[in-house]
Chains A and B, each alone.
Chain A
């Protein structure tokens, strides 16, 4: 066997420096860093948009913007937060950590990996360009349809809709490439002896996420392509006059859209148990049960989509089916909650910032899950549909369940990635400010929704004024406290107390055996797992 004379020219740290390093890199750590940085920037951009919306909603009446611009902000805020903030953050962690956790020298398809990232900036440009063009008097701004693109509104809209369609296309290609890479890496690059059932939970979460992406993102691509041809080439997919149906779009969109929720959450469900076992200083409870539950949720995710449009006029048998199958998801999810809590049970717990975020995450995401169960009830949904109740619900799942989980991951792995400890006091301030202001922002929205305030409307009736004022003030606190997060990250990257290799006392797994920060090329020789 060739053990001595292998050409190691790619092994040297002779990578280009400066901008060329980042443009051309095939290194999983570099690419992971780019994903995470991009995600943080877009998180601030999307956040700024929603602060504009909350400012408008501070009082009844129209103060700051025209309704059309308000709608544009809402749709682009959602697309940015979902596709450009949350998904790249999860992919960034995957790039950084999966090779380290499974003892691989790099991702399996490094150049494809680079392409997967570099598709994101063009999509971000496509999403925001219509705003800029409108400033110069070209066109009428971004799409004003909400992120769901429902026809016939999206067939009527100006070229902002086209920009969003192509942004979604590019983001979709990026996600498919990333998923291919992760699936291949997990199947082909694991260290000898690491069987599938010995993989870290984060790897499991991402494997199922990747399968979901492969199955659903192309369907979204197909749906928005039909929209494009309806807009410009005279097809009648979503048009009753030609035999089509606007509801068809809702089916296609939510066939992607519901699994998308799990695409955003499964990676988080992967590393949350790892954080819990680290700070509880005992092994995670029910590894197998968690893996099977993740699979069960992944499988159920693709068969429940129509609960997003119960009120669109589906036949009763379909309503019943989608109601029961949706509620069935709560069973494996309950197993996961049980395992997370049992991991902490009688553990020797300590509450550093990652653990604070994780425990807060469990509670807040629990609220998101339970309110989802309420929405899954067809009869109740007739009242809640399209109200602020839905807005509050999916922010409990996607902000608390998604972004706060990602923040836990950032604090957990930042010392490993940078080699420096972050500022613990600042981290704790960030957590408490985020958790409290988040609840103050969204709890009022539950009540607003129950009282009948519709979403996506810039004005509202007078009786909603107090709750909206509270929500708006809290949203600004929430937004501004994220600046602490940004400051903490930047100062940790620049310097700080040296982190040890293990970083956390209870941390276990291959990534903690490497130095902090790990060498540019890690695991050129694969470790053997016993």
Chain B
């Protein structure tokens, strides 16, 4: 597998980016905790606003330093530090990273299957003599039988489940098309057709943004008209957490696409050396595949 001898491997000079990003993460995490501390302890309400400020500062630090870090890598790439050997490291690293993302989504899909197949039907199948959930049917989509949760009464509100063939179907079409346009852009790059590259990426970005707008509309529709909220039992939790995390990944992917789009306009990437482009493309395809899973298991079936 490795066939390098006498080659020079580029070990980048040290940088403060990682340390500062870690400090930003610490501020973001503890700020968030302080800002919601009043949920569990009313005496801690005074922590709310300092917590929010810590969050904002932490998030700003993380974004700014990520930007600086990536800029440094781009400069190193343009000055020709990354050759074949380093390129292979990036590729393997990106594949492994995407595998870890798959495992993350697997946890939420696992929760969905567990609730649909095991826990919700089980709640409906207790002995009728003893069950606290007498009229609960256990059909999916379910908001649960209701009951007292940690001292407060939880009454599941009636809801209309999100249909598959409205906005979600449009979103499926948008994402699948964007998968095609980014491949078309890649062909342009390989043929050294810059115009095709830039336009292909522009279309991909536009489709990604359109997807996010549609998802925003869909959430609005769910909250205002369907009565479907994060609070809607098993169905609401899995629906919003799965589609929400996916939407978050689409947002990240779109930002990365914008970066490589701007880089393409500036003339970065060559037909032979363009890991930055390919890494984003792989990530985008991964997001695409997750969406197909969502469309089938969350919306359709």
Within 8 A of B (CB), among A1-46: 3, 6-11, 15-16, 20-21, 23-27
Asked whether B41 is an interface residue with its Cβ less than 8 Å from the other chain, the reply is yes
0 or 1 for each of B75-106: is its CB under 8 Å from A? (1 = yes): 00000010001001110110011011101111
Asked whether A63 is an interface residue with its Cβ less than 8 Å from the other chain, the reply is no
Complex contacts, A138 vs chain B, CB 8 Å: 44, 47
Q: What 10 pairs between A and B have smallest CB-CB spacing?
A: A222-B107, A24-B14, A243-B234, A115-B18, A243-B144, A241-B147, A242-B144, A218-B104, A242-B233, A235-B237
Asked whether B150 is an interface residue with its Cβ less than 8 Å from the other chain, the reply is yes
Additional 10 contacts, C-beta under 8 A, given A159-B40, A236-B231: A105-B11, A110-B11, A114-B14, A138-B44, A187-B2, A218-B100, A225-B241, A240-B145, A242-B144, A248-B119
Asked whether B3 is an interface residue with its Cβ less than 8 Å from the other chain, the reply is yes
Asked whether A231 is an interface residue with its Cβ less than 8 Å from the other chain, the reply is yes
Asked whether A478 is an interface residue with its Cβ less than 8 Å from the other chain, the reply is no
User: In this complex, what residue of A is CB-closest to B40?
Assistant: A158
CA distance A126 to B13 in the complex (A): 30
0 or 1 for each of A54-83: is its CB under 8 Å from B? (1 = yes): 000000000000000000000000000000
In the complex the two chains form, is B30's CB within 8 Å of A118's CB?
A: no
| Stretch from B109-117, B196-204, B208-216, B219-227 at the A interface | B109-117
Complex contacts, A215 vs chain B, CB 8 Å: 99, 103
0 or 1 for each of B231-259: is its CB under 8 Å from A? (1 = yes): 10111110011000000000000000000
CA distance A190 to B142 in the complex (A): 53
Residues on A facing B (Cβ under 8 Å): 3, 6-11, 15-16, 20-21, 23-27, 104-106, 108-112, 114-115, 118-119, 121-122, 125-126, 129, 138-140, 152, 155-159, 162-163, 166, 169-170, 176, 179-181, 183-184, 187-192, 194, 196, 214-219, 221-223, 225-226, 229, 231-237, 239-245, 247-248, 251-252, 255, 521, 524-526, 528
Q: Which of A6, A170, A184, A240 contacts B89 (CB 8 A)?
A: A184
User: In this complex, what residue of A is CB-closest to B15?
Assistant: A24
In the complex the two chains form, is A125's CB within 8 Å of B26's CB?
A: yes
In the complex the two chains form, is A252's CB within 8 Å of B111's CB?
A: yes
Chain B interface residue count, CB cutoff 8 Å, equals: 85
Q: Given contacts A26-B12, A190-B2, A244-B115, is CB(A118)–CB(B99) below 8 Å?
A: no
Asked whether B282 is an interface residue with its Cβ less than 8 Å from the other chain, the reply is no
Asked whether B267 is an interface residue with its Cβ less than 8 Å from the other chain, the reply is no
A-B contact pairs, 14 of them (CB 8 A): A24-B16, A115-B17, A118-B22, A119-B22, A166-B29, A166-B32, A196-B1, A234-B231, A236-B231, A236-B237, A242-B144, A242-B149, A243-B123, A247-B119
Q: Given contacts A192-B3, A248-B114, is CB(A139)–CB(B119) below 8 Å?
A: no
CB proximity of B136 to chain A, nearest CB, Å: 9
Q: Which of A110, A241, A526 contacts B146 (CB 8 A)?
A: A241
Complex contacts, A223 vs chain B, CB 8 Å: 107
CA distance A54 to B28 in the complex (A): 36
Complex contacts, A152 vs chain B, CB 8 Å: 150
In the complex the two chains form, is B120's CB within 8 Å of A118's CB?
A: no
User: In this complex, what residue of B is CB-closest to A125?
Assistant: B26
Q: Given contacts A121-B22, A184-B92, is CB(A156)–CB(B150) below 8 Å?
A: yes
In the complex the two chains form, is B120's CB within 8 Å of A122's CB?
A: no
Q: Given contacts A180-B93, A241-B148, is CB(A106)–CB(B11) below 8 Å?
A: yes
Asked whether B25 is an interface residue with its Cβ less than 8 Å from the other chain, the reply is yes
Complex contacts, A189 vs chain B, CB 8 Å: 2, 9, 89
* Chain A at the B interface: SS class: helix
Residues on B facing A (Cβ under 8 Å): 1-19, 21-23, 25-26, 29-30, 32-34, 36-37, 39-41, 44, 47, 69, 81, 85, 88-90, 92-93, 96-97, 99-101, 103-108, 110-111, 114-115, 118-120, 122-123, 142-150, 154, 156, 229-231, 233-237, 240-241
User: In this complex, what residue of B is CB-closest to A163?
Assistant: B33
Q: Which of A8, A129, A236 contacts B234 (CB 8 A)?
A: A236
Q: Given contacts A24-B16, A115-B22, A231-B40, is CB(A105)–CB(B9) below 8 Å?
A: yes
In the complex the two chains form, is B25's CB within 8 Å of A26's CB?
A: no
CB proximity of A206 to chain B, nearest CB, Å: 14
User: In this complex, what residue of B is CB-closest to A527?
Assistant: B5
In the complex the two chains form, is A226's CB within 8 Å of B111's CB?
A: yes
CB proximity of A236 to chain B, nearest CB, Å: 5
In the complex the two chains form, is A26's CB within 8 Å of B11's CB?
A: yes
In the complex the two chains form, is B104's CB within 8 Å of A162's CB?
A: no
CB proximity of A177 to chain B, nearest CB, Å: 9
